[in-house]
Structure 1
Amino acid sequence: MTSRILKAAVRASAADVITRLSDDSTFAEQADDIVSITDAGNGLRTWVLAFRGGAATWTQGTRPGADNPLRVEFAQISGQFQHLYGAWTAVDTADGCEVTYEVDFRTNVPHLAGAIDSAVGRVLVRTAHQLLSAAGGPARVTKGSHLLWDLAEKAPSPV
């Protein structure tokens, strides 16, 4: 299993950000790597995410956190992962809120998992960063910034 965590601060309230992240109907317009998100019925959505000249496709369910109203959980129901699940959690701060995006997954190609999981993880985290910026304004990353670019790309300057 591969896990990725991105933490970032935004200037919106935790409740506003979680409300926006709970509605994935507009996500395709907000992140470059999302090809489409379509209604799969029964509250499920089918995601198509661009990945190295191809696409990863899965159907997922999303629900509010059981014990935390400032948490949204998601999990693959069917698709191209052995498993995929995660959550968005927000906590109010003096300047807005800090949001944590956590995702655990394993691709369906076990013998290539080391290479493929790493690359898919970068796309998932980069997409999460773009979605968070759309939901709460420019996101200042506090953990996981090294996951925002592909290894073949030059790392952005820290300036």
Structure 2
Amino acid sequence: MTSRVLRATAPMPADDVIERLGDEPAFPAYAGDLLSVSDAGGGLRAWVLAFRGGTAAWVQRSRRTEPYRIEFEQVHGDFRHLKGAWTVAGVPGGCEIAYEVGYSTSVPHLAGAIDSAAGRVLIRAAHQIMSAVAGPVRVTAGGHFLSDLPEPRDAVR
């Protein structure tokens, strides 16, 4: 399984940020590659992400496991495995936000190329979500995963 972590600080209180991160259906308005997040029933959400000229789709369960932590895991979908968490901690002047994701794609013999590209798209979307829910963010770890990708496609929407 491949894993990625993106950490950033923001000037917003941790309480506000964790509440906004709980509003997953709002995420497509924040992240250019995220086409939709919709109710799939039973506390599940269906996600569709633009990826490599097509889409990656999955259904995930998200739950708050601690006051400042939201964990998520794919129930079924295009990834072999997908799980992670958003964690927010108060710091002087605002908060620190961490997005952690572990995943493997469903094409094992192409994992080196596809897993890397998928991780970059997931991290870019997480960065855009952080920026939208918490105001201007300063990336403190994982920023190198944000490079080497073209801008989100506008024509696919």
Normalising by the smaller structure, the TM-score range is over 0.9
How many angstroms apart in 1 are the aligned matches of 2:140 and 2:9? 7
Question: How big is the alpha-carbon RMSD for the aligned residues of Structure 1 and Structure 2?
Answer: 1.2
**Aligned residues between the structures:** 151
Change (3 A) 1:151 1:50: closer
Moved over 6 A (4+): none
Superposition TM-score, scaled by structure 1 size: 0.92
Q: Which residue of 1 aligns with 2:32?
A: 32
Q: 2:116 corresponds to which residue?
A: 118
Distance across 2 between alignment mates of 1:151 and 1:64: 31
- Structure 2: runs of 5 or more not aligned: 152-157
Distance 1:31 1:123 in 2: 10
Aligned residue for 1:98, secondary structure, equals: strand
Q: Which residue number in structure 2 is paired with residue 69 of structure 1?
A: 67
Cα deviation for residue 150 of structure 1 reads 2.8
Q: Which residue of 1 aligns with 2:138?
A: 140
SS at structure 2 position matched to 1:84: strand
**Amino-acid identity (%):** 58
Deviation at 1:149?
A: 2.6
TM-score normalized by structure 2? Answer: 0.93
The alpha-carbon deviation at position 152 of structure 1 amounts to: 6.7
State the alpha-carbon separation in 2 of the partners of residues 152 and 81 from structure 1: 22
The farther-off stretch of 142-151 and 46-55 is: 142-151
Q: Which of 93, 96, 102 does residue 94 from structure 2 map onto?
A: 96
